[in-house]
Structure 1
Amino acid sequence: MFNVTRKTRSLFFFLALGVTFYALIRLQPEGYKPPKRSFYIHDVNDGGEFVLHDDNLGIRMFAIVGSAWQSLSHQSVVTLCTQGNLDYMGNLPYLGSRWKGPMSIAIYVPGIDWDLTRIPKPDCRSSKQVLKEILSHRTAKHEEFIANDSYPYNIMRNVARDGVLTSFILMSDVDHVPNENIFDTLEDFIRQERILYGKKRAYVIPQYELNRTKGATIPRDKSELLELKRRNLSGTMYEEFFPQFQHCIKTKLWETINGTNESAEPGLAMQVNFSFSCEMTLVHKATDPYFDERFRGYGCDRFSQVRSFVLYTGFCDNHKPWVV
């Protein structure tokens, strides 16, 4: 994160810039509409079957619904959506401990990992043991396949989104950790600030990263986050590799608002206007445009959705929500 040469940074920038131009060329002005999906609701007590919903992509989909899913969704206004493969399943328990609301999670299981989903059901009270049991069945052939597989980020994001019942979505990556109490903060904010119900508007979540090699631990609140940054143990995401990633979010201004006052009520801090090559973590309406599933590979993959807004205005919170 911190000791990156100018040459490496420039190379990363031009690669990402090229991908962004490609995404812009491919996108249509009215935005992208993914294929309709069919879900089979899977009972964890039986073998389950799967529904082929796209002959070209060859994707089979099933859903496991939590016992409190519908009641919790009907009580809430925002759902956390995320996606990952079997390697990232170990992140889910900790993510769930920080997010107290409904979560819609898409797990990518390529064909070579299919048998791993059919092993005898382990004791799910120990998440580490579950992951260890699943991954212990992998061979060198699995590892080689996964390393060369083109991960369908945007398909997985859209799949997770399809299961949402609330009016708003927070789309985040599975390795991102939100601050404590973020669910309650967003619930209060959305219910109080009707501005997000307006057309083409969204709520921007600042993104940071930590230098874990120097002992940085996940902060509990904004004051701890800023202290880590003062000690050069944290910074805005990709600031050394690709500063344009979050340049439109004005994180330096956000850091000064309300300082470390943890009692500050959530509210609008500033307007954030979308600009070229800026990728954001957003809270937005569940009816807003989907991600472009034609995109493959890494870099600027979230850009396709924000670009679909065409004229886009975001609002940054005055104090509390952030992810690392």
Structure 2
Amino acid sequence: MNIRTKNVLSCLVLRPWLIMPFGVWIVVSVIYYWWLISRISVLESQNNVYKTQLTLSHQAMKEISVEYTTTYQVPVIPDSIGTLCETIHIALVCMGKCTRLITPMFKSLLHNRQNPLHFHMVVDNTAEHTVAVLFDTWMLPDVKYTCYNAQNRLSEVRWIPNSHYSGVYALVKLLFPDILPENLDRIIVLDSDLTFLSDVAELWRMFRNMTNEQFIGLVENESNWYYDTAKRWPALGRGFNTGLMLLDLKKIRTNIDWTDLWQNAIKENIESLKQTTLADQDIINAIIKKHPNYVYKIGCQYNVQMSTKTLSKNCYRENKNNVKVVHWNSPAKYNIKIRDANYFRNLYQSYVNFDGNLLREKLHTCSQNEALTNKINYSDLCVSFRSAQNIKLRTHLYYMDYSYNNIDDFDVTLVLQLSMDRLQFLERLVNHWEGPLSAAIYLSDCDVTKLESFTRDWSDTLSSRKNIGYHLVFKHDSVHYPVNYLRNVALDNVNTPYVFLMDVDFVPMAGLYQHLRDAIRLINPYPQKKCLVVPAFETQRYRASVPRDKAALLARLAARHGAGDVAPFRTREWPRGHRATNYTRWMTATAPYEVEWESDYEPYLVVHRSVPKYDTRFSGFGWNKVSHSVELRATGHRALVLPAAFLVHTPHAPSPDITAFRADPHYRVCLALLKQEFMDDLSRKYNMTLGGPSKSDSVYLGQAKSLLLNQAKELP
């Protein structure tokens, strides 16, 4: 054995750095490997037991279509002063055009808060319904609201000469101690043009710092406005800004006569000054000038004022992070051009674009243990399709300025829904419809600025029209396109007796609005439960002009085998949808004629606004209009075709839902299930027998049963 071989053997058998022979390591490794194998066997046995238990649990829940409750335990925070569960009360005037401005402020305040909030909204007739629907559909946790309609109280301040751009609404805050309930002791009063960058609880805690005499908390005015004493109302120094106020209502009601106080301040100054320029702010400053002991001074960072001649930079200097609340108190609002305006404007815009649905998440609980109850049906293949029937989508009614008064008992509003990618169709349609229109638009928060820009800056047609109700319905990720939900939003918000139910990708014939009003007057459909059918046609040319009247339409129909481009709607793809209209009879008809509600008939109708709502279980593509026609038939409505009215559909790219319907058999299976459930529900609701499923639906229902059986077998 040479030296080299001996060294190799020594290295293999005896490794000094391991302190023990190599053979011992081999034995230890074998023993450890055997132990691991035995543990795996034990774990597999335990896993089989767990799988058996889960299988029994799943089967039991599936058999009883379980409604199960999950309860989470969190520390209960008492609702007492100084805790995260002390309710903060906030008051705002929301009258006239305020609702569009107020949403970004709400978002900023809610994003930074932790406490429960109670909003006290002083509204007029116009804003009351809009505010209520916004709060009800937003479903914010630990947020309450109360509306106080002060429409009839405007006369109490209308006598005050006032040149403020908000008009009489800017004086309503003077009435708060009388409008708000007697049991409400303290309130934070806000303007709608604020952006919160801090927790509103910081302001609420300041009430505890007030002396017995102090009942109003204000930030100093950040301009030299009140220094011009010859032209301005009296003020203490620079005066105070009333865009953000703390009002101790209990002290006001107990210690002073508030109404006499502000009315006397007006009487003492109005003769020399003639009018208020800054509305309630001028009057309150006159009170403080005479009674400086009434005011509690709030730090300037809680009302950083973005006005033309602002001195707000003296407040935060170079540290913009010190700013707590931004106040856009210039008539130019968010377009003000001053130093640092871009920085704060970007913060404001971030709240405009902020997804309001994120604010639905609960931060903590302020009550006893809460139960989250969810319907869980393990055999339900179509849970995503049913979501639209159960969910509330955040809705902002009349987002843009709206003004229309019903003309008479025969007036009609065009009702439709659309997504943002169809906005150009709305503009085209409006060129052919001069009557009122109610449009539900499905969009994200980021789309709101685009909508405003398109309707205000890019479309002369839309910017000039005030009889269009824009109702914003905000997207939710868990639902298919909620087409019938949107239709119901538009249908619920009309102020004419009749509605014309149409889709945005159609173009009406010239003068259709007046034609429908004349037909309604002649036929008087409501007492007879008649629905007026407007026949639908289509063209496959993107740039084709719409025939102006029936004669022009008939000429293009007659030539459709040659150079013609117009045909009855969907005669190839979906003949059952409009076949009952009887286009052959329509071509020669000179008087309205009645037709039967055939299977799958989905005409475009003029009906009384009391018509049944659309069934929201139908979202995405398929049977969303047909289901409505079926219910009209079940409720005894009759279909009457108008002989001289028509619509023309123009081509466009298919929607994602119709693409899914064509490509995904699961989509078609779910639609068949929903149709059968709808028909069963309708039969029970109206105690009548309706037709059974079609042949194609029977096939899909069979597939659904097979999928259910396979799903049951695949349960662990």
Instruction: Measure, in 2, the Cα distance between the counterparts of 1:243 and 1:320.
Output: 20
The reply on whether 1:230 has 2:553 as its aligned counterpart is: no
Task: Choose which of 602, 614, 620 in structure 2 pairs with 1:291.
Answer: 614
Task: Choose which of 482, 486, 498 in structure 2 pairs with 1:156.
Answer: 486
Does 1 or 2 have the higher relative contact order (CA < 8 Å, sep 6+)? 1
TM-score (norm 2): 0.33
Aligned-residue offset at 1:116: 2.3
Aligned-residue offset at 1:172: 0.4
Q: Which residue of 2 aligns with 1:108?
A: 442
Aligned-residue offset at 1:114: 1.9
The reply on whether 1:305 has 2:389 as its aligned counterpart is: no
The reply on whether 1:205 has 2:530 as its aligned counterpart is: no
Q: Are the structure 2 counterparts of residues 149 and 120 from structure 1 closer, same or farther at C-alpha, using a change threshold of 3 Å?
A: closer
Cα deviation digits, residues 231-257 of structure 1 (max 9, x gap): 221111110111111111111110122
Aligned-residue offset at 1:147: 12
Task: Choose which of 207, 216, 234 in structure 1 pairs with 2:544.
Answer: 216
Aligned-residue offset at 1:44: 6.7
Cα deviation digits, residues 13-57 of structure 1 (max 9, x gap): xxxxxxxxxxxxxxxxxxxxxxxxxxx996476143643428642
Report SS of the residue matched to 1:161. Answer: helix
Aligned-residue offset at 1:66: 6.2
Q: Are the structure 2 counterparts of residues 297 and 41 from structure 1 closer, same or farther at C-alpha, using a change threshold of 3 Å?
A: farther
Q: Which residue of 2 aligns with 1:254?
A: 586
Report SS of the residue matched to 1:98. Answer: coil
Which consecutive unaligned segments of at least 5 residues does structure 2 have?
Answer: 1-94, 107-133, 140-389, 463-474, 650-716
Q: Which amino acid aligns with 2:554?
A: L
Q: Is the 8 A contact 2:485 2:616 kept in 1?
A: yes
Report SS of the residue matched to 2:507. Answer: coil
Q: Is the 8 A contact 1:82 1:157 kept in 2?
A: yes
Instruction: Measure, in 2, the Cα distance between the counterparts of 1:322 and 1:85.
Output: 20
Instruction: Measure, in 1, the Cα distance between the counterparts of 2:611 and 2:451.
Output: 40
Instruction: Measure, in 2, the Cα distance between the counterparts of 1:204 and 1:241.
Output: 21
Instruction: Measure, in 2, the Cα distance between the counterparts of 1:299 and 1:211.
Output: 22
Task: Choose which of 265, 273, 278 in structure 1 pairs with 2:601.
Answer: 278
Report SS of the residue matched to 1:69. Answer: coil
* Paired residue total: 257
Instruction: Measure, in 1, the Cα distance between the counterparts of 2:421 and 2:526.
Output: 36
Instruction: Measure, in 2, the Cα distance between the counterparts of 1:315 and 1:234.
Output: 23
Cα deviation digits, residues 113-150 of structure 1 (max 9, x gap): 3222146953724239x9xxxxxxxxxxxxxx999972
Task: Choose which of 69, 88, 108 in structure 1 pairs with 2:403.
Answer: 69
Report SS of the residue matched to 1:289. Answer: coil
Q: Is the 8 A contact 2:614 2:628 kept in 1?
A: yes
Q: Are the structure 2 counterparts of residues 43 and 230 from structure 1 closer, same or farther at C-alpha, using a change threshold of 3 Å?
A: farther
Q: Are the structure 2 counterparts of residues 146 and 236 from structure 1 closer, same or farther at C-alpha, using a change threshold of 3 Å?
A: farther
Cα deviation digits, residues 249-278 of structure 1 (max 9, x gap): 1111101225xxxxxxxxx42111211111
Report SS of the residue matched to 1:228. Answer: helix
Q: Which residue of 1 aligns with 2:101?
A: 46
The reply on whether 1:174 has 2:497 as its aligned counterpart is: no
Instruction: Measure, in 2, the Cα distance between the counterparts of 1:204 and 1:44.
Output: 37
Which consecutive unaligned segments of at least 5 residues does structure 1 have?
Answer: 1-39, 131-144, 259-267
Aligned-residue offset at 1:63: 1.6
Q: Which residue of 1 aligns with 2:571?
A: 239
More helix by share: 2
Q: Are the structure 2 counterparts of residues 75 and 314 from structure 1 closer, same or farther at C-alpha, using a change threshold of 3 Å?
A: closer
Q: Is the 8 A contact 2:506 2:648 kept in 1?
A: yes
Greater shift, 94-103 or 61-70, is seen at 61-70
Instruction: Measure, in 1, the Cα distance between the counterparts of 2:520 and 2:596.
Output: 19
Q: Is the 8 A contact 1:41 1:65 kept in 2?
A: no
Q: Which amino acid aligns with 2:431?
A: S
Report SS of the residue matched to 2:519. Answer: helix
Instruction: Measure, in 2, the Cα distance between the counterparts of 1:42 and 1:63.
Output: 12
Q: Are the structure 2 counterparts of residues 205 and 90 from structure 1 closer, same or farther at C-alpha, using a change threshold of 3 Å?
A: same
Kindly name which structure, 1 or 2, has the bigger radius of gyration based on alpha carbons. Answer: 2
Q: Is the 8 A contact 2:405 2:495 kept in 1?
A: no
Aligned-residue offset at 1:162: 0.8
Q: Is the 8 A contact 1:73 1:165 kept in 2?
A: no
Q: Which residue of 2 aligns with 1:122?
A: 453
Q: Are the structure 2 counterparts of residues 80 and 280 from structure 1 closer, same or farther at C-alpha, using a change threshold of 3 Å?
A: same
Q: Are the structure 2 counterparts of residues 147 and 193 from structure 1 closer, same or farther at C-alpha, using a change threshold of 3 Å?
A: same
Q: Which residue of 2 aligns with 1:189?
A: 519
Q: Which amino acid aligns with 2:570?
A: Y
Instruction: Measure, in 1, the Cα distance between the counterparts of 2:452 and 2:613.
Output: 34
Report SS of the residue matched to 1:240. Answer: coil
Q: Are the structure 2 counterparts of residues 92 and 119 from structure 1 closer, same or farther at C-alpha, using a change threshold of 3 Å?
A: closer
Q: Which amino acid aligns with 1:159?
A: V
Greater shift, 225-234 or 73-82, is seen at 73-82
Instruction: Measure, in 2, the Cα distance between the counterparts of 1:175 and 1:148.
Output: 26
Q: Is the 8 A contact 1:204 1:283 kept in 2?
A: yes
Q: Are the structure 2 counterparts of residues 251 and 148 from structure 1 closer, same or farther at C-alpha, using a change threshold of 3 Å?
A: farther
Q: Is the 8 A contact 1:41 1:62 kept in 2?
A: no
